[in-house]
């Protein structure tokens, strides 16, 4: 971290230490909005990119060079560890992950396997090693949170209502907790592997947990999140905990003991940070739809976020991933605006 020319502003902000300027990166900063990425996708499927460390490293590096962001995120997908766990899936264009053998009954949980990432996902480790040599910014590793993964495993694919997931949760509660415990344990293990290989921070994506009430989060999810984060306590890297439509869950997310909480655009940064007692750093929260807005609107919305920041510990990001319709020049302008912003502290 002390190497000359290494930009550690992102890590400092995660630790609520002073940084030279507000650091910024974008969720899904490598993706279909880039012509170069679309070209790579003509030759390789998403999973093939992940299995070829040289291609995967190249795709990860693309936005770092193009946008001048302060962190790289490993190019991968939250579904990658499902294969070694005996859950067979494909990623279908414009749909997302589709599971061929979903969990529907209590006994289906028994066929889920523990796995050794250094064996089954060795290519991820190789990609991280390649990236470590190239990068002058920190690399973020990631996993899907147990609830979000369970929702794919049980629904069999993307869902709007999460009805199958909730039915399983309420009616097969014992099997639910068993499934969540396996996912929490295996994802902690996989995160540890990514950190051992060189990831400087990690993000846990709980993209779909906002579908739960406060009580259901407490009873069916919270114990597993706290277990997962406690398994990682000895690692000396920031842990980012991100959810979507999860403003109502913020007090409990704080108690999960991550270093950073990720916010979407439905909440204000200043109010949420106060609610979190300033005990964590925060990351967010520009609406990804703003990326298709006229230049003056983008500038205004970016400024509206920046002016809420009155202390160290903020990382600028979107409230969710970049959409394929986004404009690369707009992203670049946001990075410049954030970097040039005069800090109030
Ligand atoms: O640059 C980065 O942020 C790293 C890349 C990344 C991908 N998936 C690659 C990808 C990350 C961080 C993810 C995480 C992920 N995957 C999440 C959590 C974050 C979120 O967006 O909520 C979820 C829920 C998934 C599952 C998944 N995989 C979805 C919903 C989709 C999109 C379906 C579609 O086609 O729009 C995927 C496919 C996927 N994973 C793409 C990318 C770049 C897009 C499709 C492609 O390039 O083929």
pLDDT in tens, 11-55: 999 999 999 999 999 999 999 999 999 999 999 999 999 999 999
The CA distances from residue 50 to 5, 198, 202, 210, 275, in Å, are 28, 17, 18, 28, 38
Asked if 79 and 152 count as a contact pair (C-beta separation under 8 A), the reply is: yes
- Residue positions counted in the chain: 345
220 CA distance to ligand 1 centroid (A)? 25
Question: With bands split at pLDDT 50, 70 and 90, how would you rate the model's confidence at 60?
Answer: very high
- 3-state secondary structure (DSSP) of residue 136: coil
**pLDDT for res 3:** 55
Q: In angstroms, how far is the first alpha carbon of the chain from the final one?
A: 24
Over residues 15-27, the pLDDT tens digits come to 999 999 999 999 9
Report if pTM > 0.95.
Answer: yes
Tell the residue nearest (CA) to atom 43 of ligand 1: 31
Asked if 240 and 205 count as a contact pair (C-beta separation under 8 A), the reply is: no
- 3-state secondary structure (DSSP) of residue 169: helix
Question: With bands split at pLDDT 50, 70 and 90, how would you rate the model's confidence at 107?
Answer: very high
Q: What does the alpha-carbon distance between residue 22 and residue 13 come to, in Å, rounded to a whole number?
A: 8
Verify whether ligand 1 is closer than 6 Å to residue 30 (CB atom).
yes
Task: Kindly tell me if the per-residue pLDDT of 2 is higher than 70.
Answer: no
β-pair type (201-206, 239-243): parallel
- 3-state secondary structure (DSSP) of residue 197: helix
**pLDDT for res 150:** 98
The tokens for 84 are 């070694």
- Average confidence score pLDDT of the chain: 97
Burial class (CB in 10 A: 0-12, 13-18, 19+), 119: exposed
27 CA distance to ligand 1 centroid (A)? 9
Burial class (CB in 10 A: 0-12, 13-18, 19+), 84: middle
Task: Kindly tell me if the per-residue pLDDT of 288 is higher than 90.
Answer: yes
Query: Catalytic residue numbers?
Result: 28, 32, 41, 77, 152
Residue that has been written with the tokens 């999973």 in this structure: 47
Q: Where are the beta strands (DSSP E) in 125-225?
A: 139-144, 201-206
153 CA distance to ligand 1 centroid (A)? 16
- 3-state secondary structure (DSSP) of residue 310: coil
**CA 188 to chain centroid:** 14
Verify whether ligand 1 is closer than 6 Å to residue 25 (CB atom).
no
Verify whether ligand 1 is closer than 6 Å to residue 302 (CB atom).
no
Verify whether ligand 1 is closer than 6 Å to residue 29 (CB atom).
yes
Higher pLDDT, 94 or 63: 63
Over residues 143-157, the pLDDT tens digits come to 999 999 999 999 999
Tell the residue nearest (CA) to atom 21 of ligand 1: 321
- Under DSSP, the state recorded for 66 is H
Asked if 272 and 250 count as a contact pair (C-beta separation under 8 A), the reply is: yes
Verify whether ligand 1 is closer than 6 Å to residue 90 (CB atom).
no
User: Residues 197, 198, 200, 203: what is their CA dihedral angle, to the nearest 10 degrees?
Assistant: -40
The ligand 1 atom nearest the CA atom of 63 = 1
In this structure, what are the phi and psi dihedrals at residue 318, rounded to the nearest 5 degrees? -85, 170
**pLDDT for res 19:** 97
- Structural domains of the chain, with CATH: 9-340 (3.20.20.210)
**pLDDT for res 344:** 87
277 CA distance to ligand 1 centroid (A)? 31
Percent of the chain with pLDDT over 90: 97
Question: With bands split at pLDDT 50, 70 and 90, how would you rate the model's confidence at 4?
Answer: low
Higher pLDDT, 94 or 259: 259
Verify whether ligand 1 is closer than 6 Å to residue 62 (CB atom).
no
Over residues 188-219, the pLDDT tens digits come to 999 999 999 999 999 999 999 999 999 999 99
Tell the residue nearest (CA) to atom 41 of ligand 1: 31
């Amino acid at each position: 971290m002390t190497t000359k020319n290494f930009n550690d502003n992102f890590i400092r902000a995660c630790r609520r230490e002073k940084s030279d300027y507000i650091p910024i990166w974008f969720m899904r900063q490598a993706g279909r909005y880039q012509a170069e990425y679309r070209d790579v996708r003509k030759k390789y499927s998403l999973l093939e990119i992940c299995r070829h460390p040289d291609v995967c490293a190249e795709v990860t590096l693309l936005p770092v060079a193009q946008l001048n962001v302060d962190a790289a995120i490993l190019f991968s997908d939250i579904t990658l560890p499902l294969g070694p766990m005996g859950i067979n899936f494909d990623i279908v264009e414009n749909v997302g992950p589709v599971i061929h053998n979903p969990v529907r009954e209590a006994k289906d949980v028994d066929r889920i396997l523990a796995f050794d990432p250094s064996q089954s996902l060795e290519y991820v480790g190789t990609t991280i090693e390649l990236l470590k040599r190239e990068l002058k910014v920190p690399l973020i590793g990631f996993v899907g949170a147990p609830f979000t993964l369970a929702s794919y495993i049980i629904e069999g694919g993307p869902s709007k209502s999460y009805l199958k997931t909730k039915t399983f949760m309420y009616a097969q509660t014992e099997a639910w907790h068993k499934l969540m415990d396996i996912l929490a344990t295996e994802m902690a293990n996989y995160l540890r592997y990514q950190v051992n290989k060189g990831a400087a921070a990690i993000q846990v994506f709980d993209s779909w947990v906002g579908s739960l009430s406060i009580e259901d989060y407490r009873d069916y999810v919270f114990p597993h999140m706290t277990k997962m984060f406690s398994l990682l306590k000895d690692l000396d890297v920031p842990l980012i905990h991100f959810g979507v439509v999860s403003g109502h869950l913020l007090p409990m997310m704080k108690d999960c003991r991550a270093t950073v909480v990720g916010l979407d655009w439905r909440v204000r940064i200043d109010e949420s940070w106060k609610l979190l007692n300033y005990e964590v750093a925060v990351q967010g929260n520009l609406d990804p739809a703003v990326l298709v807005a006229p230049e003056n609107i983008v500038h205004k919305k970016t400024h509206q976020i920046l002016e809420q920041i009155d202390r160290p510990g903020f990382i600028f990001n979107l409230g969710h991933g970049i959409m394929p319709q986004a404009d690369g020049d707009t992203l670049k302008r946001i990075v410049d605006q954030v970097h040039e912003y005069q800090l109030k502290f």
